[in-house]
Amino acid sequence: MNVIFVGDIVGESGRTALKRALPKLKEKFSPDFVVVNGENIAGGNGITPRLAIELMRLGVDVITLGDHAWDQKEILPFFETEPRLLRPGNYPPGTPGCGHIVVCGNGKKIAVINVQGRTFMRPEVDNPFLYIEPVVRELRNQTMCILVDFHAEATSEKVAFGRMLDGSVSAVLGTHTHIPTADACILPGGTAYMTDVGMTGPYDSVIGRDVASVIARYKTLLPQKWHLSRQDLRACGVALEIEESSGRALQITPFQIPCGNLDAENTEM
């Protein structure tokens, strides 16, 4: 089984990068499933129903989110009608939506789980280390192939989470920091791991934001009007090869696809 996982899509720049890169990625890796993190797709803050549908029309099978899941209020009722849009599962009971799904395609089946970390993160959600294990046990009754998007800040928390799940899931892939790390590997038990797969968006930026406004914030400590950059677009993520019978990862291949620039003046916040 081949799977593509695309890191945090940031605003219009990220959407454009994904549109430009996805045909190349499909040609190179022939994915059975495409999973993306879309929590920053609406101008850098959250996601809307229209943008979720746009991603699915591009061929995305599952959309994961993170701490910005609730930024666009119109998304709340959409969770009830679209199970392929996941929010972190370790939010309190009664929160709209779900944190995992099993999807089928090309005669194959994969489970996707979305979880949020707690270290340096807000809001402080339920303990992800306690939440995840019974969910994995339940899903392994349906498929051995399980991908986990761990949306977290601290590298130590991510590494510990991946190590705990080694051998019980196919991949633990980190999102949230927007910076691709150099530690893609297959852990001893057969789980593919990467601390952060990076963002899909503008890299002539500070994690997507216009450089000058971010520097001004750090120098003055005063509120600044954020703009998203439109230069040096890249699509970042990983391609996975998974053995269907065991769920073991056979290969993890990070990618970073250059996607040009957006020429028009940016108006997104």
- How far apart CA 79 and CA 245 sit, in angstroms, is 31
Token pair recorded at residue 131: 């939440």
Over the chain, what is the mean pLDDT?
96
- How far apart CA 102 and CA 62 sit, in angstroms, is 9
Q: Percentage of the chain with pLDDT > 90?
A: 94
C-alpha to C-alpha distances, 85 to 51, 145, 157, nearest whole angstrom: 11, 19, 25
Q: Percentage of the chain with pLDDT > 70?
A: 98
pLDDT at 193: 99
DSSP string, 71-126: SSGGGTGGGGT-TTB---TTSPTT-SS-SEEEEEETTEEEEEEEEE--TT-SS--S
> For the whole prediction, is pTM greater than 0.85?
yes
Query: Residues 66-124: pLDDT tens digits?
Result: 999 999 999 999 999 999 999 999 999 999 999 999 999 999 999 999 999 999 999 88
C-alpha to C-alpha distances, 111 to 57, 145, 147, 177, 227, nearest whole angstrom: 20, 6, 6, 24, 36
Asked if residue 166 lies in contact with residue 136, where contact means CB atoms within 8 angstroms, the answer is no
pLDDT band at 235 (very low <50, low <70, confident <90, very high): very high
pLDDT at 267 over 50: no
68 is catalytic: yes
- Residue ranges of the domains in the chain? 2-258
Residue 253 pairs in a beta bridge with: 239
- How far apart CA 140 and CA 110 sit, in angstroms, is 10
3-class secondary structure, 166: strand
CATH number of the 2-258 domain: 3.60.21.10
pLDDT at 1 over 60: yes
pLDDT at 35 over 80: yes
Asked if residue 227 lies in contact with residue 210, where contact means CB atoms within 8 angstroms, the answer is yes
- Placement of tokens 């500070």 in the chain: 206
Dihedral of CA atoms 214, 219, 223, 228 in degrees, nearest 10, equals: -10
Of the candidates 68, 151, 176, 178, the residue annotated as catalytic is 68
- How far apart CA 45 and CA 10 sit, in angstroms, is 8
pLDDT at 263: 74
